[in-house]
Amino acid sequence: MAGTIQLNETPGGLRPPVAKGGTGRLYDLMEAWLPKIVIAPTFVACVVFIYGYILWTAVLSLTPSRLLPLYEFVGIEQYQALFGNDRWWLALKNLLVFGILFVVVCLIVGLLLAVLLDQRIRAEGFIRSIYLYPMALSFIVTGTAWKWILNPGLGLEKLVHDLGWQSFSFDWLVNPERSIYTVVIAGVWQSSGFVMALFLAGLRGIDDSIIKAARVDGASLPRIYWRIILPSLRPVFFSCFMILAHIAIKSFDLVIALTGGGPGFSSDVPATFMYTYAFTRNQIGLGAASAMMMLMIVVAVVVPMVWSETRRTSRG
């Protein structure tokens, strides 16, 4: 926090000249309070709409609420119901499959593209723009587009048939065993360019002199990347991982637009599960319990990451 200014807590020298007459004190008082008054609405909103609501949802998850909130304590019944629900387990499994594939593939693709783009490429800005534009689109648009491309009757499958490979079959979108993988395809398409941008920024931040020294020592380019450049990208890896994991855990729109959680509920994830139970099946208590579990997952993934990063950087 070095470099920040604490104006109002330095009495004496930095006080504003007092205006003449009786308004001086009032003016001083107002000046002292103004910063707090300005930030107060945000403080209240934050406490109420974030932390208060989390508490409220936690309370709801301990009640038998169905269509309407019912404030009657039933202990962890809803959580027991949740973990006795096959659909929830499938949603968790899908999240695991989707989350791991999405994060890993995005990291690999993003890093590879960044390394390729870092080779003094002509028209680099133009190419970068192409890789990045999917990020400007909403997941609903992305889902709609990929749903059309992956359409077994008319999309990619037909294209390959027309090219002469008649026995080609690509029905992942409607195959309960495969549907979650189509979400990975569309998700990677949308988010990998962004990871590329972060890695590229990281690569550009590396001190050239180390690399030059390594070259003088006769190290090969792949070796330089592997031994020097990649290790120094560690903080970027962390940021990317955190953002991607976060996107994965929250991912709702993409699944809704692409598969609608289907076929059946084969591509359900916790976010769609929560929406379905809380808002279309009128199981408020169960929905609240699943939302609390989502929060726990985020906490379990993000907090250790932030913790280790801040400890590392504060020591460094």
Site residues for other proteins, 102-141, by CB under 8 A, read 113, 116-121, 124, 127, 129-141
CB 63 within 8 A of CB 70: yes
- The site string for other proteins over 44-83 (x = CB under 8 A, - otherwise) reads -xxx-xxxxxx-xx--x--------x--------------
Of 276, 284, 202, nearest to 235 (Cα)? 202
Site for other proteins in 243-302 (CB under 8 A): 243, 246, 249-250, 252-253, 256-257, 260, 270-271, 274-275, 278-279, 284, 287-288, 290-292, 294-295, 298, 302
Per-residue burial over 52-63, b = 16 or more CB atoms within 10 Å of its CB, e = otherwise: eeeeebeebbbb
In three-state secondary structure terms, 169 is coil
DSSP letter at 15 equals P
Least distance between other proteins and beta carbon 31 (Å)? 5
Neighbours of 146 (CB within 10 A): 23
Per-residue burial over 11-20, b = 16 or more CB atoms within 10 Å of its CB, e = otherwise: eeeeeeeeee
- The site string for other proteins over 210-229 (x = CB under 8 A, - otherwise) reads -xx--x-----x--------
CB 236 within 8 A of CB 126: no
Confirm or reject binding of residue 233 to other proteins (CB under 8 A): no
Q: Which is nearer to other proteins, 142 or 179 (CB)?
A: 142
Least distance between other proteins and beta carbon 313 (Å)? 12
Answer for which of 158, 174, 175, 181 binds other proteins (CB under 8 A) is 158
Least distance between other proteins and beta carbon 1 (Å)? 7
Contacts with other proteins: how many residues (CB under 8 A)?
110
Answer for which of 23, 25, 43, 71 binds other proteins (CB under 8 A) is 43
Neighbours of 44 (CB within 10 A): 11
